[in-house]
Amino acid sequence: MAGKKFDVSGIMQSKVTWAVIAEALILLVCFIIRPDFFSISYQPSTGMLYGSLIDIVNRSAEITIISMGMTLVIALGGTDLSVGALVAVAGAIALKFLRWDVLTYTTPGDYTVYPYILVIAVPLIVCALMGLFNGFLVAKGGIQPIIATLILMVCGRGVAQILTDGKQFTTGYSPFRVIGQGSFLCLPMPIVITIIVVIAVALFTRKTAFGAFVESVGVNPSASRLSGIKAGNVILIVFMITGLLSGIAGLIYSSRIMSNDSNNAGLNFEMDAILAVVIGGTNMAGGKFSLTGTIVGSLIIRTIVTFVYYFGIVAEATMAFKALIIAVVIVLQSEPVRRYFAKRAALRQGGARA
């Protein structure tokens, strides 16, 4: 028979497949318990689509955006622990420009003290520079990424607190509200921003040679250097992108609550982002990466949280419940399990053909 044959065995070997299966299973359980979990309606008062599935995608925006950068960092064989702290920094800077001094401008309202462009641009620039700082330590200083990014992870929140005098600023500025609570074409704005970010990162890595450079440096930096890739620059760019994306996530987070929350904003986001990447099938040792897998990973994490809220799992059991599901997902993706199913699939395919 001519033509491309459908390679079931190969698909069963892919970690992304298992991530999709895991997500589908969790959603199936939701559907069995409460079919209306899947209902989506139009909410005229906000002009947005309304439903639990929308919530999952909407609330996963921050992690999805950050983990786009984290995927690249992990493909380089590193990790970025500072992303959560940068989320807090971005929020603090934005609110600082919106309110500046709460003793002078005492009540939050529909105003901004400094022009809106600064509220948006400065946090993004600062976060990109902080990412660049991480990259510089790794590329030029030869420091291990986990150590290099630990610096900003620890002091980032401190910076955020200093910026707002340890206070939680609140704002009512409506253009700022649009980022986290607005809508475009009936979709919540965070989803729209996520789609734009995902497309941008995908185009940048897959339509240019940059993605191949990242994988190459991740597998073997010396060999890549000998073949003419400037490994240092690749590292700098990847960390800068991750910083910038953390900044975008920070703006979304603080716009959702219309305030900065230097202690809780982005708390443990680095762990969720790493988890999303790992569930998505990218190897922690570096090399090949999958952006699609990462998106599925991020959705799995948020689906679990929404599941807990929706079905009223008691607060005390929440953590254990999350851990249990993630453990199952990771085991499903482990080498022996995948190989077993791939072998079975190959046997069945072979049997059918014979």
Question: In the chain, count of helices (H) and strands (E)?
Answer: 16, 4
38 binds another protein per the rule CB under 8 A: no
232 binds another protein per the rule CB under 8 A: no
Among 150, 167, 184, 220, binds another protein (CB under 8 A): 167
Q: Which x/- pattern, by CB under 8 A, does the window 56-95 give for another protein?
A: ---x------------------------------------
Cβ 29 to another protein shortest distance, Å:
14
Half-sphere exposure of 332 (CA within 13 A, CB side): 22
Distance CA 67, CA 60 (A): 10
255-274 positions binding another protein, by CB under 8 A: 256-259, 261-265
Q: Is 208 exposed, middle or buried (0-12, 13-18, 19+ CB in 10 A)?
A: exposed
Distance CA 284, CA 123 (A): 29
DSSP string, 229-273: --HHHHHHHHHHHHHHHHHHHHHHHHHHHTB--TTTTTTTHHHHH
Distance CA 250, CA 246 (A): 6
Is the Cβ of residue 108 or residue 232 nearer to another protein in the bound state?
A: 108
104 binds another protein per the rule CB under 8 A: no
> Which of 45-53, 117-125, 134-142, 204-212 is the region at the interface with another protein (rule: CB under 8 A)?
45-53
Q: Are 278 and 55 contacting, i.e. CB atoms less than 8 angstroms apart? A: no
35 binds another protein per the rule CB under 8 A: no
Distance CA 81, CA 334 (A): 25
50 binds another protein per the rule CB under 8 A: yes
Distance CA 58, CA 221 (A): 37
Is the Cβ of residue 224 or residue 254 nearer to another protein in the bound state?
A: 254
Q: Are 136 and 65 contacting, i.e. CB atoms less than 8 angstroms apart? A: no
Is the Cβ of residue 144 or residue 264 nearer to another protein in the bound state?
A: 264
Is the Cβ of residue 7 or residue 110 nearer to another protein in the bound state?
A: 110
Among 111, 114, 116, 309, binds another protein (CB under 8 A): 309
Q: How many residues bind another protein (CB under 8 A)?
A: 44
Cβ 344 to another protein shortest distance, Å:
38
- Residue 281, Cβ neighbours under 10 Å: how many? 22
Q: Which residues are near another protein by CB under 8 A?
A: 34, 36-37, 43-46, 48, 50-52, 55, 59, 107-108, 157-158, 161, 166-168, 170, 181, 253, 256-259, 261-265, 305-306, 308-312, 314-316, 318
